Structure 1
Amino acid sequence: MDQARRRLESERERTLAHLASLSNDYAGVVAASRDSNADDEHDPEGATIAFERSQIGALVRQAQQRLEEIVAAVDRVEAGTYGTCETCGGAIGEARLEVRPTAATCIRCAEAATRR
């Protein structure tokens, strides 16, 4: 479990760094639009500015969701259920956890969920 905890901490640090970078990018886009005389509805470049803000906002939400997944995985480590599929109760393969440390389901159950 120490390895899982280290893996999750590393993932958390990467995600926090990514979130900080996205926040800086967002602030830059907002500052650039504030410095220009762009009107999103009437300026041909306005749609691009709005699109960039929207894209960065979506990436921020994804990073925040990723942090929530990491917190949930750490909670599973502490509860002693990390590596156990939340759907079938079977083991989540080590290879899956190495690639996706926040996985809460085994591959079989994850594939079944995507077919629904």
Structure 2
Amino acid sequence: MMEQLGFLQIWVDIMMKCVLTIFYYVSINWMVGEFFQPFRGLWQGDPLSPFLLLICSERLSSLMRLAVKEGLTKGAKVSRSRPQTSHLLLADGCVLLGEALERAVHVIKQILE
């Protein structure tokens, strides 16, 4: 994602090292357990999570805007005089809006993939 947004390779490498070389441990009653490595990326509360979420959200947002601009899908309108809204980014998720057509569903599925 970072490469597609134009980040230099050195920044991508640094971020990947931060994600892939992390270890955690659990402390219960001030007793430290063994270190372990996560197998599914960052955990909630990791200091990098908000920044990586912003990077991914920006890419998702740009792909949705492009799909609407190219006429591949349509967003929802609150009124006739307002622009279409194809997505809403929230603090802990997102809402994708589109036509109830099979073609539009495939476009959104491709964007998510």
Taking structure 1 as the reference length, the TM-score comes to 0.36
Which is richer in strand? 2
Greater helix share, structure number: 1
With a CA cutoff of 8 Å and minimum separation of 6, indicate the structure with the bigger relative contact order: 1
**TM-score, structure 2 normalization:** 0.37
